[in-house]
Amino acid sequence: MNQQQRSALLHSSSLFPPPPGVKLSYGTAGFRADASLLESTVFRVGILAALRSIQTGSVIGLMITASHNQVSDNGVKIADPSGGMLTQLWEPFADAIANAPDPNSLLQLLDDFVKKENITLEGGPAARVLLGRDTRPSGASLVEAAKQGITCITGGTAIDVGVLTTPQLHWMVRAKNKGVEASEHHYYDQIVTSFSYLMDNIPRENSSKDVNDKLIVDGADGVGGEKLEKLKSSLKYLSIDVRNYGDGVLNEGVGADYVQKEKVVPRGFGPSDAGIRCASLDGDADRLVYFSVLSNSNKIDLVDGDKILSLFALFLKEQLRILDDKANTSSYKASLGVVQTAYANGASTEYLKQLGLEVVLTPTGVKYLHEKAAEYDIGIYFEANGHGTILFSETFLSWLENINNELSSTSKGSDQHKAASNLLAVSKLINQAVGDALSGLLLVEAILQHMGWSIQKWNELYQDLPSRQLKVKVVDRTAVITGNAETVVVSPVGIQEAIDAEIAKYTKGRCFVRPSGTEDVVRVYAEASTQEAADSLAHSVMVIVHQFLWF
């Protein structure tokens, strides 16, 4: 790092002093806090994004959002060249620079890191960073802080792409680095075209009057609602009533997180919506859940991420079966895998296994799910909270393109040709960079039409086991060490045996504990055959955790 670069960094960072007494940590969600505390952090993440771009020689994304958090919060996270999350290897560096107490400390950290990672700041590729933000009022000033961070690295270019959903920014980064047109317009064009293709391919025998073309969507008063309100006129076969798309307070009594946790109707919904298919996005539109309003009640029948995953798996498995039925495609056996965390309802895992699918568990966090799903030709992952997507391997897509071209010339319109075309359309409709509520919603709608299913029929795939989640305040959450995808406690010694003894008392009992990633609590998740039993099991295990860890 030459003297000119060092001087520029020292000067710029002096303009963004860190708030005293605040320590932030980078996780799956990036940095999040009250927006008033974030200017320094966002500036420094701008520097990080520029360095990551130079190191990889690729476009990097920087998104300013706090997703489902309250409107006074904000956050910042990085999209890597693949469009996915920032590599875990850089997370400790992100923590270190965010918490550096002064410009000189920051400069020393940057100097050491640049040397360690062999990042060339002179004569190498220039940094290119796409900057996006959601609709939060604090977003505009934080974008300016990010720009300052990016451009204080010599040659760094900040490309402000405006107000976007988080998945749109991730999609653009992935597309840019694949050499594909990557504007918001191209995003819409790709998902609308793919959706229309799938809808045109619906088997006549599966057309059903049970599948109403009307869908009501809760936009969480966030960016996703705004985007969908503009997009809906482009969609054939689907009538969308978007509510909560900017006329209320972001995430207040609305949104996927609220609906999934509280299991009640969001603001703006009521008894008159009973029986109609409804969906809810979260604040930055990377989560999606469905629900139906119960008659004369503010309660709902929730269709969460587990059931979205099951619907996708069922459809994709059927398309692969149709291809496998034909001798001339037997040379390639595509691997289809499903990835969940321990928080997935046990009934969903059992259902997927009964379908003959390979189901694997990972630790909680999208970065773990995404990495595991990428090991399959088709890897599907979803969390119950509605965040997830489908990944297709390049090898499989290349094979599929060849098969589709061959069938287009020899047996166009055959079941096999339609199956190959459907799989290709799904790969283009779904956002392979990250969970995307808009593209996921369109895929759900297309598959329900293919199946001829109402939301009630979909919800009957399996019956969720009653569950309960609790958290226990502890002195030191790091005292809990888990293994086997967080399903067992390795340390303290003896706690897992005590938990197992409690689980054995309940029919269909299942329980695990894991330390929070952000606060000094241990989270408890329990399932059993009845709600009363699940509540009792969770409470008993909470007592065990307290006994072992309150010291």
> 25 labelled as ligand-binding?
no
Residue with tokens 């990633």: 517
> 515 labelled as ligand-binding?
yes
> 67 labelled as ligand-binding?
yes
Q: How far apart are alpha carbons 64 and 212 in whole angstroms?
A: 37
Q: How far apart are alpha carbons 443 and 437 in whole angstroms?
A: 10
Tell me how long the chain is. Answer: 551
Query: Which DSSP symbol is given to 449?
Result: H
Q: How far apart are alpha carbons 42 and 15 in whole angstroms?
A: 12
> 500 labelled as ligand-binding?
no
> 65 labelled as ligand-binding?
no
Specify whether the CB–CB gap between 40 and 18 falls below 8 A.
yes
> 128 labelled as ligand-binding?
no
270: number of CA atoms within 13 Å, CB side? 2
> 523 labelled as ligand-binding?
yes
295, with CB counted inside 10 A (0-12, 13-18, 19+), is: exposed
Q: What is 238-305 written as a DSSP string?
A: -EEEEESSSSS-TTSS-SHHHHHHH-BPPTT--GGGTTS-EEEE-TTS--EEEEEEPTTSSBEEEE-H
> 41 labelled as ligand-binding?
no
- Cβ neighbours, 10 Å, residue 504: 8
473: number of CA atoms within 13 Å, CB side? 0
> 104 labelled as ligand-binding?
no
Query: Which DSSP symbol is given to 527?
Result: E
Q: Which positions are catalytic? A: 67
Residue with tokens 């969001």: 266
Element (H, E) at 482: strand 481-483
Q: Which amino acid is at 440?
A: G
> 285 labelled as ligand-binding?
no
Specify whether the CB–CB gap between 59 and 130 falls below 8 A.
yes
> 395 labelled as ligand-binding?
no
Report how far apart, in Å, the C-alpha atoms of 374 and of each of 318, 337, 359, 396, 506 are.
Answer: 21, 9, 14, 12, 36
Q: How far apart are alpha carbons 388 and 306 in whole angstroms?
A: 10
> 517 labelled as ligand-binding?
yes
> 318 labelled as ligand-binding?
no
Binding residues for substrate: 383-385, 514-518, 523
Task: Specify binding-site residues for Mg(2+).
Answer: 67, 282, 284, 286
